[in-house]
Amino acid sequence: MITIMTVSELTKAVKDAKNKNLTIGLVPTMGYLHEGHASLIRQSAVDNGLTVVSCFVNPTQFAPGEDFESYPRDFTRDRKVAEKAGATVLFAPDVSEMYPENYNTFVLACGVSEVLEGLARPTHFRGVTTVLAKLFNLSRADRAYFGQKDAQQVSVVEQMVRDLNFNTAIIRMPIVREDSGLAKSSRNQYLSDTELQEATVLKKSLDLAHDLIRSGEIAAGKIKAAMTEFITQTAENARIDRIDIVDNTTLADVETITSTVLIPVAVYIGKTRLIDNIVVPV
């Protein structure tokens, strides 16, 4: 694996790979790599001749007051995880490399980015799509790999790729979880031992929703009420931010469940905001 810090170096590595007729896989990350990221890298290494892992904490997707400065960073660990999983290029640019002086162009996927997480973080997805558009162009990726944990993000990226005719296939990979059921996340390291136990309430509430739907409940309001009651009674340090039941394709709110739904949740455990989701086919 080689580590690249500049756009010019990445451009050269990609050109060399294309000259050899290698397919290119991209795994975009903000670093602090864990098993969830490693699963994406491994799949890309199987599918492609060259796997580029970007390691870049993207400032444009953080709003003022969010945790950009304190976001966990451990580049030495990132290099080890990426190489062990099969990455061939680790791209780790400085902010000035991705957003040079006088940078003033942004990409916005309307509609799908303005619901759910987009309501709470109205500038977030603009930053996500902008940096990914840049990474897709720089890497010339044939395939890009994303985890289902950030389900809305994947839908936003799929729309951008479709609407702007990027020649990159978006590969959606399953959520990787701890033995406890907690979705692996860089933000889990903020949690105390007690909070780690309480954080399992997210997955358990989603399992409850799944069981209710499979048993015949179709009223979204009743399911959300049951999830709310379960979370508040189970985890003392939990504070619900969002529970939604939406169409799995359009992300539009659903009142009566008649087709496959996505159920995303966002819950504060102590001061840490965690997200999780489940897709329930009907």
Run of H or E including 3: strand 2-4
Q: How many Å from the N-terminal Cα to the C-terminal Cα in the chain?
A: 44
Torsion sign across C-alpha atoms 162, 163, 167, 172: negative
Residue 93 and residue 73: Cα distance in Å, rounded? 14
How far from 268 is each of 25, 93, 118, 177, 183, CA to CA, in Å? 34, 31, 17, 18, 14
Q: Which of 93, 27, 25, 90 is nearest to 58 (CA)?
A: 93
Torsion sign across C-alpha atoms 205, 209, 210, 212: positive
Q: Which of 99, 9, 116 is nearest to 56 (CA)?
A: 99
Residue 130 and residue 92: Cα distance in Å, rounded? 17
Question: What amino acid is encoded at 85 in this protein?
Answer: A
124 belongs to the catalytic site: no
β-sheet bridge partners, residue 24: 50
Q: Give the residue numbers marked as catalytic.
A: 37
